[in-house]
Chains A and B, each alone.
Chain A
Amino acid sequence: MITFYLMAALFLLATILLGLIRVLRGPGSGDRMLAAQLFGTTGVTILLLLSMTLETPALVDVALVFALLAVVAAVAFVRQHGLPEPSGTPVHQRKNDQKTESDDDR
């Protein structure tokens, strides 16, 4: 069983490395951020599998904290970027001339 868990963890680690392609190539910032969020979920699973194989129950706490706080970066991203952009625009040109001053987010 331990071997199976380890192989699963290794497989998940490989999927993280595969997902890095999306982070590296983009094209939009949403794609990159979403890939990073997916890594967070995969990381939680790897932590749980490792907690079984290494017999360290404390790792469940680490996984809990990860699952809980991975969303902070996502919330920050949503706050900074708002609605999705049409893809293909270079980042530095986006929304440069429409800085929102409206307070309609309440």
Chain B
Amino acid sequence: MSNLLLVIFDLVLLAGLLGVAWRCLASTDLFRAVVLFITFGLLLALAWVRLEAPDIALAEAAIGAGITGALLLVTLERLRSIAVERRRGRPDQPPDPAGADALLHALHDPPPPRRTFVPALSFALVVGGLMVTALWHQPDAVGLEPVVDEHMGVSGVDHPITAVLLNFRAYDTFLELAIVLIALLGAWSLGRYDRLPARPAPGPILPGTLRLLVPVAIVTGVYILWAGSHAPGGAFQAGAILGAAGILLVLARPRDLPMAPSTPLRLGLTAGVGLFLAIGIVGLFIGPGLLGYPPEWAYPLIIVIEIAATLSIALTLVALFIAGRPAGDDH
């Protein structure tokens, strides 16, 4: 009975996921698409739970619910305020070549023309069909679970995913931290920080909510980081939660955002990559190899790296949310 119910749950969940994704991509109203995408993230977290991946569900909850939604909403508002500005025709800007009508597109995408329907559909069907066929004929493999299990003793932690991320495949995590940093550098290269578009929200509710929630979010983030050594959790999830707390703080006062001083900010942003690389190089000389640790030192080293990585990921996510270099460091 409960097996059958689980199967029904899976089928309803997947139907919901596909339906939400389809309506999201078919929306002409961008705001609706964004709200549907937030819902998609929620359903996705439930799907990860069903696939026995609570770590991924944690990351999806923090990133999908906390960060992506706010990021997309703020982007829409930025696009709208750009459209309004251009419509007004600022004197220091050349007149808009496409005319004022083009601005209507800022938050709307007209339905796609019919002539791309058949090629796009057939291409997607071929790709999807190939994938489904390949997946159905793929034999069951044991995977790397036994190998990981066998070496848990030397990993220094008790949670297999943390062991894989920070010990067995530390390369991946190191390069991932580097990619996150590069994404931030890319965003910074586009120009300086400009104020988040924000409307006044009078009343005590918003400040009160933030005052309550931000400390709780910080405690939760630290808890998830600590839990990572023996249970689902770890640096990414904790970084995402702390980043969401930072985004809440940014949203609390978007007009007069107090900018972090430049040097500590940059040190914090690079702490994860830097420390990881330093420990990795030390491992090259006295340990088993580049990014390897001596087993008896593995636990403290992993904790140190995780703390630094959490800090960096959180700061980077907030900086990516703000987008643009901090004001006042042009030298």
Contact = CB atoms under 8 A, between A and B. Distances in A.
Asked if A and B touch directly (CB within 8 angstroms), the answer is: yes
Interface of A: 2-3, 6-7, 9-10, 13-14, 16-17, 20, 23-24, 26, 29, 32-33, 35-36, 39-40, 43, 46-47, 50, 53-54, 56, 58-59, 61-62, 64-66, 68-73, 75-83, 91-92, 95-97, 99-100, 102-106
B28 to A, nearest CB: 10
A46 B43 CA distance: 10
Given A23-B32, A80-B74, A105-B202, A68 B39 contact: no
Interface in B41-87: 42-43, 45-46, 49-50, 52, 54, 57-58, 61-62, 65-67, 69-70, 73-74, 76-77, 80-81, 83-85, 87
A58 B237 CA distance: 13
A24 B23 contact: yes
B175 interface: no
Interface string B98-122: 0000001011100000000000000
B84 A73 contact: no
User: Which 5 interchain pairs have the tightest Cβ spacing?
Assistant: A82-B199, A73-B69, A69-B66, A76-B70, A105-B200
10 contacts: A32-B32, A36-B35, A47-B45, A59-B57, A61-B58, A64-B220, A65-B224, A68-B216, A75-B210, A76-B247
Could you tell me the dominant secondary structure of chain B's interface residues?
helix
A10 B216 contact: no
Contacts of A79: 74, 196, 198-199, 201, 251, 254
B269 interface: no
B201 A82 contact: yes
A20 to B, nearest CB: 7
Could you tell me the dominant secondary structure of chain A's interface residues?
helix
B5 A6 contact: yes
Contacts of A62: 45, 49, 54, 57-58, 61, 232
Interface of B: 1-2, 5-6, 8-9, 12-13, 16, 19-20, 23, 29, 31-32, 35-36, 38-39, 42-43, 45-46, 49-50, 52, 54, 57-58, 61-62, 65-67, 69-70, 73-74, 76-77, 80-81, 83-85, 87, 104, 106-108, 196-202, 206, 209-210, 213, 216-217, 220, 224, 227, 231-233, 237, 241, 244, 247-248, 251, 253-256
A29 B72 CA distance: 14
